[in-house]
Chains A and B, each alone.
Chain A
């Protein structure tokens, strides 16, 4: 792809750190608005032809993920205990142009009005920094619609949907057997199943192919370009403006500031490990909830001793992952869940928190089968089935095509002591301090998970499963949704960015990604990350045009 390239000695209008769900949108929108943009990405620039169905590389070696490059993350449940090096889990995200939007499952639920004002509706929750967002659903709605139409979302309205100003641009993907069974169970219980909105093309669109139902979405890059990642949607449009350079294999480790407390650009290592600089009139961070926090903390200086933009102390705090709870089931006939997109139906009857449950929490439920053949053979069978031998062999063929999981996607609360911090004792390959996750699940989050295990179990039984089994509800030690670590807010004392994603402390520093979230929503954050990015870009461009950056 031929793209504009800028000399490092040039001061561009914007340097953006990250090219994922948010960074891709910001690059495209700011370049389209007429600004010169350099977007730096720490991973490689891969394309459809680089992706494969290779389960060993993708799911077990995690070849595309940060952990393949930076294995030394640490974890502890409180700051009082020593951090231990974690295995393959922890803070997970993809490195590469398009970020985690390349390997995500593509569930594109919008948040609902309640998600933005739940603190006011519910009240305070002990041990948390539960707060309203400084924006409302109504303010964000036009940008959700931009995501639908510019990215390409397939879906159909459901009974609990928030108001929308335009219909879905594409009809739903085919309903799978799992969706049929979730519907059957939900209807039997008097619930209201609906189409799962997916950022995957159900029909060809804008030169991209429709979904080929290959069954390799979550953790995989789409070989057909049908999954609406930043890589195949906004990044090519950003490049086509002639005003945007995507600079891959560039790991930013510092935002530089001057004596006036303004950001002047970023320092990064290129592919060869050579340190380079990119000067810019404004800096935009969209590196995800782990990397954005790390970069701000690494950019400490005498003027910003606790990290850039961190006078509130909120940088790296309140990390939220979204809880999960599920039940597995086997059915009489084959479902063949190895085909098709991740989910085709959802149940949103339990979305709102309900005081009658005795705790805060809510979520949505879908039907999916998160196993390739290797992962299923290793630990996918029910616990009472032999793990080797003739019976095991028979069970693999009895269960693989006949099983499914009903999966809940849940709230998680913003707890101030749940943090991403720097761990100098475990540096990465550049010598940069590694990431330490400190996390202890809030009691209401655990109660929410246990409650939803029961709901998914009831649904599975009502759907007619011949066998139902659960796995232990384990403590949370990481996740793929990295939310809340540079939260938005009106008060500079308890938030990092304002309602326009401008850092309270630095007038020409903007931060927009999962870190901006004030509350977690009910899973599926990428749709909202992109809506925030479309909205942020509009305001940032407005500020830049009026010399207010």
Chain B
């Protein structure tokens, strides 16, 4: 799962990716929860399949031991399948869900996509309402 998660959202230029944000820890926990129970068989089978494909390419210790280029090649073969969809969704939830679930460490997933994460905000909110000016931002159309 770690190798898979690192390919979904890789770390770049020192900025953390899914693995560094704790997405794998989230997935391990989530698969024990009733809500995700339906995903367990497809994820287990899919991870075993990844390792089998890796061994066929000479990666004796499975998918995680392959070079990045080989991992990408394998994922290209399976990216439209049920396992990829289910595992990708789990990794993304682990990257962007509330940190209390074990991933998205320190809310860094939110920072990655540009969210200034606060419990509440004050207008103006974005470039276009700032541009319109504080006077007309409130009130008349």
Q: Judging by beta carbons under 8 Å apart, are B72 and A177 in contact?
A: no
Chain A minimum-CB-distance residue to B26: A56
With A195-B141, A388-B8 already in contact, the answer to whether A374 and B121 are too (CB < 8 A) is no
B7 adjacent to chain A (CB < 8 Å): yes
A156, A174, A345, A392 — most chain B CB neighbours (10 Å): A174
Give the Cβ gap from B137 to chain A, nearest Cβ, in Å. 6
Whether B10 sits at the interface, judged by CB under 8 Å, is yes
How near does chain A come to B15, taking the closest CB pair, in angstroms? 9
- Contact A214 B120, CB 8 Å, known A177-B129, A388-B88: yes
| Interface contact B125-A176, CB-CB below 8 Å | yes
Is B52 an interface residue when CB atoms closer than 8 A count as contact? no
Distance to closest chain A CB from B133 (angstroms): 11
Residues on the B chain within 8 Å of A336, using CB:
114, 116, 125-126
Contact across chains for A388 and B75 when beta carbons are under 8 A apart:
yes
CA distance A380 to B125 in the complex (A): 21
The residues of A that contact B128 with a CB separation of less than 8 Å are 177, 180-181, 331, 333, 335
Chain B 94-115: CB-based contact to A (< 8 A → 1; otherwise 0):
0111101100000001101111
A156→B121 contact, CB < 8 A: no
- With most chain B CB atoms within 10 A of its CB, the pick from A56, A183, A372 is A56
* Chain B interface size, under 10 / 10 to 19 / 20 to 34 / 35 or more: 35 or more
Quick check: B97 and A176 within 8 Å, CB to CB?
no
Is residue B17 contacting chain A, with contact meaning CB distance below 8 A? yes
In chain B, positions 66-92 with a C-beta closer than 8 Å to chain A are: 72, 75, 79, 88-89, 92
Interface residues of B in 28-57 (CB under 8 A from A): 35
Indicate which residue in A194, A213, A387, A389 contacts B125 across the interface (CB closer than 8 Å). A213
Closest to A345 in B: B141
Chain A 266-308 against B: per-residue CB contact (8 Å), 1 yes, 0 no?
Answer: 0000000000000000000000000000000000000000000
- The 8 A-B residue pairs whose C-beta atoms are closest, nearest first, are A177-B126, A333-B127, A212-B120, A174-B123, A177-B128, A373-B96, A401-B114, A335-B126
A-B contact pairs, 17 of them (CB 8 A): A54-B98, A55-B96, A56-B98, A174-B138, A333-B128, A334-B126, A335-B127, A337-B125, A339-B125, A340-B125, A373-B113, A377-B113, A387-B88, A389-B8, A393-B10, A393-B17, A401-B115
Q: A176-B125, A335-B127 are in contact. List 17 more A-B contacts (CB 8 A).
A: A55-B97, A56-B97, A61-B35, A156-B139, A158-B141, A171-B139, A181-B128, A183-B141, A212-B121, A333-B128, A334-B114, A335-B128, A340-B123, A345-B141, A376-B113, A389-B72, A392-B9
Binding site for A on B (CB under 8 A): 7-10, 12, 17, 35, 72, 75, 79, 88-89, 92-93, 95-98, 100-101, 109-110, 112-116, 119-129, 131-132, 136-141
